[in-house]
Chain A
Amino acid sequence: MSDKGKVIVIGSGPIRIGQGIEFDYSCVHCVWTLRELGYEAIIINNNPETVSTDFDTSDRLFFEPLTVEDVMNIIDREEPEGVIVQFGGQTAINLAKPLHEAGVRIFGSSYDSIDLAEDRDRFDNVLRALNVAKPQGRAVTNEKDALIVAEEISYPVLVRPSYVLGGRAMELVYSRADLERYMTYVVDVSPKAPILIDKYIIGKEVEVDVISDGVDCLLPGIMEHIERAGVHSGDSMAVYPPQTLSQDVIDQIVRVATSLALRLEVRGLMNIQFVVDHETNTAMVLEVNPRASRTVPYLSKVTGIPMVKVATRAMMGVSLKEQGYTSGLHPNQGSIAVKAPVFSFLKLTQVDIGLGPEMKSTGEIMGVDTKYPLALYKAMLASGIDVPTGGNLIATIADPDKAEAVPIIRGFQEMGFHIYATAGTASYLTQRGIPVTTVHKLHEANENITSLIRSGKISLLINTLSTDKRIEREAIQIRRASVEAGVPCLTSLDTAKALLLSLATRKKGANFALATIDEYMEGRVMA
């Protein structure tokens, strides 16, 4: 029996899209840290697949549902000092309010801090008070207001219901008609269920986790997304440390993150997502999650900072200073890490694989090396985009993306790929000096783009998403064909560009490093 008393850690429940294994990782580390600190650590969870429900992970394991009732029953019996809700994803954080109201002590950020970050109006006030930029936008409770707000901030806009995880029903909306469709068919809007409408900012997305003890704020590292804003952060590739951000932007991020953490009185972890407006170079806040995020295990491993351990200690009253950390961004470590999403589209028939603001990936992997292109290649390979450095490529590019696609396609062609394209893309590329074989669209002939994909001769499909619903209907079928034929399909030019870079490196005969994770972390790997 521990003299410090008991602490209950709320687990994350079943693995689902948006709430994966990362949260179990965090819960387990939290439990271990509590035990090290001398607490009796109790875990409640209901997922049989996990380490957290292994019988020797905690001092006590309760295999129970994660509802208020079931959790309160255990609290009544165990009479813990308090409960930790920061590591079990949205499942756990959702319990903060009822547990707080029942008089249960929440370790770490208080319920009020959590609410401050999650309540759109309160949060907007905080941002205003701190003079922090965010994309223009508002919460609305009916369709009429939605249309007014959208006109005001101008299309395209990002729409989503408030209080959601993993971007459910989040969409990029380009027109009034589109918004009407969204408000009518996709969501139920009401004063109780407001819809958030934000200006869609074209730019880099950046993610950062902050650990705070209320005095100091440590940023273990910044992750820069490879795909531009608009693709859900869980579906984006991301790199640590950032490869294209200016020092000024990094400084903005550190400053904003620190002031927000202090203002929200964060104890433990908080995750902030930014978009860097490419015109003004301003880091704007997209979203704040007052809890451990999906990126915690990745950053922990590449920065060498055991983030959950540090955060748990901070929550339990061991200051960052006592732990040997200071405020600010932790210096970059010796290697480059690229995180990439992995999808399970093969198993999910009739699901469109095009990426957007709604999360679709089921898992993630990481590639580490001494240089960005090398880490990128490893990440591509590990995530299943195992493309040779030559072969046949099909490109079907939406009109707005065509100009940007030219150098990328040319790159593939110069590397040794033969390019196939549908009529529009083909003529655009041919005019710009890229030799292309035209393929028929679905309705044009029996020998068409999908039969070509199924022929087994194609190594890669690049298909950017169109805003034209008519084109998209056919594009969905093409993308499904690629999934079923096992042909990697990229729907973002950013990913295509990254793949090109990594393949080029591979072709040059790159020397991939091979090292243990601590060797990478400690910079002991020679380039």
Chain B
Amino acid sequence: MPKDPSIKKVLLIGSGPIIIGQAAEFDYAGAQACRSLREEGIEVVLINSNPATIMTDVEMADRVYIEPLSVEFVERIVAKERPDGIVATLGGQTGLNLATQVAEAGILERYNTRLLGTPLRAIRQAEDREEFRTLMREIGEPVPESWIITDESQLGDAIASGIWPLIVRPAYTLGGTGGGIARNVDELLTITRSGLALSMRHQVMVERYLSGWKEVEYEVMRDANDTAITVCNMENFDPMGVHTGDSIVIAPSQTLSDKEYQMLRTASLKIIRSLGIEGGCNVQLSLDPHSFAYYVIEVNPRVSRSSALASKATGYPIARVSAKIAIGLHLDEIENAVTRKTLACFEPALDYCVLKIPRWPFDKFVGADRRITTQMKATGEVMAIDRAFEPALMKAIRSLEVGIYGLANKTGHTLSDMELEEAIRVPHDERLWSITEGFRRGMMVEEINALSNVDPWFLRKLEGLVNLETRLKVNAPAFKQMSKALESEEEEAQEPLEERFGSAVRLLREAKRMGFADRTVSEFAGMSEGKLRKLRKHLGIVPVYKMVDTCAAEFEALTPYYYSCYDTEDE
């Protein structure tokens, strides 16, 4: 079906200020949506209280309101502008909550307008814990068993279930104070008692604790014709227990077999269909690393931080397409803006590895609790792309601007072995470097896996990097010799460096291919970064640039979106 002709004017709700959990991604989403809607001839009215956004530029929307994101002001704008519909799924949780309040206040009926895209019922079903669980049970998708407890005498069912360990979370307290993991009845009673005392409403939730399970996300899209696709899946480096926003994330998943990948994909599509979402949606799942068992953890019935990441990771513009779906277009009527030859109705194929690392504010808040848990603490994130995991990781590390450019942080080597084990076991902002320090001290993949539950595939990659780092430390002085030889070469013609320093040249090439920064390598070699760079260029060890094209080179793409790698062909 082409776009709904009754929609001529749309109110788009923005996400307001940048807070932890809601950063620039919603400006990206909103700006894309504005363009996407105006392309279709729709007049766009926008409200956002945050003027430091592209979406609030007068060029982006027809009518820009920089007013507080409150029901009162939205109602006044609706009364004044009389939009045919409201798009609320691109303004983060703020936008979604506001739209729900606006709908509940009867404003939609009063001014004869409606929510576009995902219906309010779907939003409620996805957001309300009980409604969501009921729906999942109806469609046969597993959710972790849980019980609401207001008195310790109610623990009978939980104990009888035989599920261990259980996690106890006090309701309505923030930061998870008073909760804990119970591995037996005694622990369960103790933790529940203290949790009940700390909860403002004297309530705790007891839930199956998916300790060590993999956390996987799917970004899915659906249109009004019930065509549904997945844009991307992503696997968390950190197993369950760490907020996705605080987790190192890899796209696409690396350790899932096709059967597992498809099983979770099918579940995600079933969920988006059962909710009746029209637009983008994020499904978080947890997968047992030792069986096909999985649980549905959460659904975000809107464009999210993960969608921004998925969009950049794949080249697929989720917000742009979501906006078009909201006004009635079907996926097969929307152009793939990257290839401009194919349509938005396909699933991107990646031919590279994408890595995201969160950026935490602990450089500012020195005294803050640096453990990362289920409450997000990162203010932002960096992403890196390469043809392999290792260089993507190394690029992401040096993008963070936290004074770390490689595999060692400032404090890792100062820890005792016991402290280090603890730092590997308990997630915190620098756990990555605790793990590399572990390998540096000769720990095995199995040991670190047992402590951290991080998948052995990732750990093996880190171990390989540490081994290469060791070889570099030993052999890097040869780079300095090469550099000196290069400087004197102008005077006396000698045989090429490749011949004289064959193994050193190969090592340098390998180091660059694996993503080691010139800064790190030159430090090991005891030379300046500039000289190393000159040497590298002389040896022809320079990166090539490849295109992110949504289709793994299957089709010609026009969009000039590049990443570097030390492969052979430059595009």
Chain A: residues with CB nearer than 8 A to chain B? 13-18, 20-22, 24-25, 28, 46-51, 53-56, 58-70, 72-74, 76-77, 91, 102, 166, 168, 294, 297-298, 301-302, 342-344, 346-352, 358-360, 362-368, 378, 381-383, 386, 454, 484, 514-518
B418 close to A (CB within 8 Å):
no
B28: which of A49, A68, A516 is its contact (CB, 8 Å)?
A49
Closest A-B pairs by Cβ, 5 of them: A363-B18, A15-B380, A363-B17, A14-B359, A342-B17
Tell which of A21, A65, A454 touches B384, judged by Cβ atoms closer than 8 Å: A65
Which B residues touch A343, using CB under 8 A?
19
Of all chain B residues, the one with the shortest Cβ separation from A359 is B364
B59-73 contact mask (Cβ, 8 Å, vs A): 1 or 0:
000011111111001
B365-A348 in contact (CB<8A): yes
Q: A56-B559, A168-B364, A363-B17 are in contact. List 11 more A-B contacts (CB 8 A).
A: A15-B18, A24-B24, A50-B27, A54-B32, A55-B559, A65-B398, A69-B519, A77-B570, A344-B379, A350-B368, A514-B76
Contact in complex: B563, A49 (CB < 8 Å): no
Contact yes or no, B68 A514, CB < 8 A? no
| A348 to B317 Cα, complex, angstroms | 32
Nearest-CB residue, chain B, relative to A360: B364
A-B contact pairs, 25 of them (CB 8 A): A14-B380, A15-B18, A16-B361, A16-B401, A49-B309, A50-B24, A51-B27, A51-B31, A54-B317, A55-B559, A59-B560, A61-B561, A62-B545, A63-B383, A63-B384, A69-B517, A73-B542, A76-B537, A344-B379, A349-B369, A350-B369, A351-B365, A362-B379, A366-B49, A366-B51
- Whole-angstrom CA separation of A298 from B317 in the bound complex: 28
B311 contacts across to A, CB distance below 8 A? 48
Which residue of chain B is the closest to A53 with respect to CB atoms? B312
Pairwise interchain contact A516-B383, C-beta atoms closer than 8 A: no
Complex Cα distance A13/B58, Å? 25
Q: Is the interface of A mostly helix, strand, loop or mixed?
A: loop
| CA–CA, A70 and B20, complex, Å | 29
- Which A residue sits closest to B32, measured CB to CB? A54
> Which of A16, A49, A102, A365 is the one whose CB lies under 8 Å from B25?
A49
Closest to A167 in B: B364
Would you call A13 and B52 a contact (CB within 8 A)? no
Question: In the complex the two chains form, is B52's CB within 8 Å of A51's CB?
Answer: no
From residue A363, how far is it (CB to closest CB) to chain B in Å? Answer: 3
In the complex, A168→B361 CA distance in Å? 11
- Report whether B20 and A347 are in contact in the complex, using a CB–CB cutoff of 8 Å: yes
CB A510 to nearest CB in B, in angstroms, measures 12
- Among A51, A68, A69, A348, contact of B361 (Cβ-Cβ < 8 Å): A348
Q: Which of B17, B76, B562, B570 contacts A383 (CB 8 A)?
A: B17
Whether B379 and A16, one on each chain, are in contact in the complex, defined by CB atoms closer than 8 angstroms, is: yes
* Number of interchain pairs (Cβ within 8 Å): 277
A17, B31: Cα distance in complex, Å: 23
In the complex, what distance in Å separates the CA atom of A386 from the CA atom of B305? Answer: 26
Nearest residue (CB) in A for B395 is A65
Most buried by A among B28, B385, B517: B28
| A366 in contact with B25 (CB, 8 Å) | no
Contact A76 B50 (CB under 8 A): no
Interface residue B388 (Cβ < 8 Å from any Cβ of A): no
A244 to chain B, nearest CB (A): 23
Which residues from chain A contact B545 at a C-beta distance below 8 Å? 62, 74, 77
Listed residue (B19, B64, B70, B518) with the most chain A CB atoms within 10 angstroms of its CB? B19
Q: In the complex, A56→B32 CA distance in Å? A: 10
Residues of B within 8 A of A77 (CB): 545, 570
- Whether A346 contacts B27 by the Cβ 8 Å rule is no
Q: In the complex, are the beta carbons of B51 and A517 less than 8 A apart?
A: yes
Q: For B385, give its contact among A63, A69, A342, A348 (CB under 8 Å).
A: A63
A514:B308 contact, CB within 8 angstroms: no
B315 near A49 (CB under 8 angstroms)? no
Min Cβ gap B539→A in Å is 14
Is the pair A48, B399 in contact by a Cβ cutoff of 8 Å?
no
A63 cross-chain contacts in B, Cβ below 8 A:
312, 383-385, 548, 561-563
* B residues 385-411 touching A (CB-CB < 8 Å): 385, 395-396, 398-401, 405
CB distance from B249 to the nearest CB of A (A): 10
Question: Which residues from chain A contact B548 at a C-beta distance below 8 Å?
Answer: 55, 63
The answer to whether A514 and B380 have CB atoms under 8 Å apart is no
| Shortest Cβ gap from B431 to chain A (Å) | 18
- Asked, given contacts A18-B364, A69-B533, A76-B542, whether A514 binds B375 with beta carbons under 8 Å apart, the answer is no
B58/A518 in contact, CB under 8 A: yes
Given A56-B559, A67-B405, A69-B517, residue A516 in contact with residue B19 (CB < 8 A): no
Cα distance A50–B517 when bound, in Å? 25
- Closest B residue to A352 by CB, please name it: B367
Contact B50 A365 (CB under 8 A): yes
| Cα–Cα distance between A516 and B65 once the two chains are bound (Å) | 5
Residue B54, interface by CB 8 Å: yes
